[in-house]
Amino acid sequence: MNIIRAAPDDPIERFAMISLLVSWGIKRCNVKGCTEIPTTYIGNIEGLDKSLAMCDKHFEEGSRPDGPTTFTFVWNNFNAFAYAQGER
């Protein structure tokens, strides 16, 4: 598994990460129901033929050492960048 993630408190890294995701056509956190802008890319996941993108909240939630977290993922045309700008 490969993870590319910007430091949450570094605006330059966050901008670079968002630019990278947009250039790859990734427009959403793949957690079902999430409308946040993705900041993390996860690729080459064993047993999954797709890549994932996650927002800060879901990445942190999934990385907690106190136990497993279960997510439902979706791949659709939702655009978190447009949603954040009020284009609903």
Residue 88 has pLDDT above 60, yes or no: no
User: Quick one: average pLDDT of 22-43?
Assistant: 91
Write the pLDDT tens digit of every residue in 49-78: 888 999 999 999 998 888 778 999 999 889
Domain boundaries, the chain: 2-84
Q: Are 1 and 43 in contact (CB under 8 A)?
A: yes
User: Which two tokens mark 47?
Assistant: 């047993």
Distance (Å, whole) CA 32 – CA 15:
24
Q: What angle do CA 62, 68, 69 make, to 5 degrees?
A: 50
Q: pLDDT at position 19, please?
A: 86
More confident residue, 34 or 87: 34
Residue 46 CA neighbour count, 13 Å, CB half = 1
Which pLDDT band, with edges at 50, 70 and 90, does 17 fall under?
confident
